[in-house]
Amino acid sequence: MDSTITPGAADNEVITLRVDESDEGTRLDAYLAARIDGWSRARLQRLIEEEDVLVNGKTAKVSLKVRTNDEIEVELTPPASANFIAEDIPLDIVYEDDQLIVVNKPAGLVVHPAAGVNSGTLANALAFHFQQLSNAGSIRPGIVHRLDKDTSGLLVAAKTESAHEHLADQFRARKVFKSYVALVYGVVREESGRIEQPIARDPGNRTRMAVVAGGRGALSLYKVRKRFDSFTLVDVELKTGRTHQIRVHLAWMKHPVVADELYSGGRENNLDVRRRALIRKLKRQFLHAERLGFNHPETGEEMRFTATLPEALTQLLDELETV
């Protein structure tokens, strides 16, 4: 039998377990309770129900019987906190009806609370601005999917449990259209391409993801929008939704996202003084969720939304034309 894991203090830590032959047939919640030190079976059941547990890349039921060599990925999200309060944080609302809201999230805004972060998030803002949201009473009211803190752009939130379920089903079935704009270091040679590389937690650094043999399948499609001296502006369509997928895939291509502190490896240090100064002035990574499409959870109507590039990003592009 595998030994237990004692999670660290990292926010929303993700751990991966592989089922040993001796645990064949054990219920998923019981298996996790025996493996993850300090987490009760009830809390782990909640994680499974909130789809923070994946078995072989798929969501599962609490009662699932695990099998030998199953790979189980668990995102240890913190429980609802008594400190979670609705906050009057401005929102750029792109669309709203009685089922859902589409917002244009600014860079720097965390989507929902995590360990040690109970305020100042998109979830806190949604709780203030909307009286009805799915997952009411949790730390993720309305949240169907996420964007990284320093990624701006379109995000859909659900007002009802039914809408949440329908939208989540579309994300799982890869029926949601998600297209991003990224400025990357270097000149991308091909006009378009396909990056199909598996992604998993970086074995050498648990705060990062990486292309890892045996990781979860991930597919990104890119197309060059504009070329600059030392940079390329690309559109990237996500066909899967792995953590940090675009950032990891572009870094794997040797063209990391501009100003991405986690994956660019100090690439700006190779630039001349003027370009380096422009990048350091940006104060965020150049990644924006520009287009989002899905079917309305109640009517089935095809819905498409676009969010123009934030001013800070357009300003950088303008400045790169002159250096």
| DSSP assignments along 218-278, one per residue | -EEEEEEEEEETTEEEEEEEESS--TTHHHHHHHHTT-PBTT-TTTSTTGGGGS-HHHHHH
Q: Which fold has domain 13-76?
A: 3.10.290
Query: Exposed, middle or buried, 21 (CB in 10 Å: 0-12/13-18/19+)?
Result: exposed
- The predicted pLDDT at position 11 comes to 44
Nearest to 220, CA basis, from 206, 241, 205? 241
The amino acid that residue 162 corresponds to is S
- Which uninterrupted H or E stretch holds 290? strand 287-295
Q: Specify whether 148 is catalytic.
A: yes
pTM of the model: 0.84
pLDDT tens, position by position, 47-97 = 888 778 889 877 889 999 999 999 998 988 766 555 678 999 999 999 999
DSSP structure class, residue 109: -
> Right CATH number for 93-172 from 3.10.620.30, 3.40.30.10, 3.40.630.30, 3.30.2350.10?
3.30.2350.10
- The predicted pLDDT at position 1 comes to 46
- The predicted pLDDT at position 7 comes to 54
Locate CATH 3.30.2350.10 in the chain.
93-172, 177-320
Name the one residue in this structure whose structure tokens are 């752009």: 153
Nearest to 315, CA basis, from 284, 292, 293, 289? 284
> Right CATH number for 177-320 from 3.50.50.60, 3.90.45.10, 3.30.2350.10, 3.40.109.10?
3.30.2350.10
Nearest to 182, CA basis, from 244, 122, 243? 244
- H helix runs in the chain, sequence order: 28-35, 41-49, 122-129, 161-172, 245-252, 273-282, 311-320
b/e map 188-226, b = 16+ CB within 10 Å: beeeeeebebebbbbeeeeebbbbeeebbebbbebebee
- The predicted pLDDT at position 119 comes to 87
- The predicted pLDDT at position 226 comes to 97
**Mean per-residue pLDDT over the chain, rounded:** 91
* Share of residues in the chain with pLDDT > 70 (%): 94
* Below-50 pLDDT ranges, the chain: 1, 8-11
Catalytic residue among 29, 70, 148, 260: 148
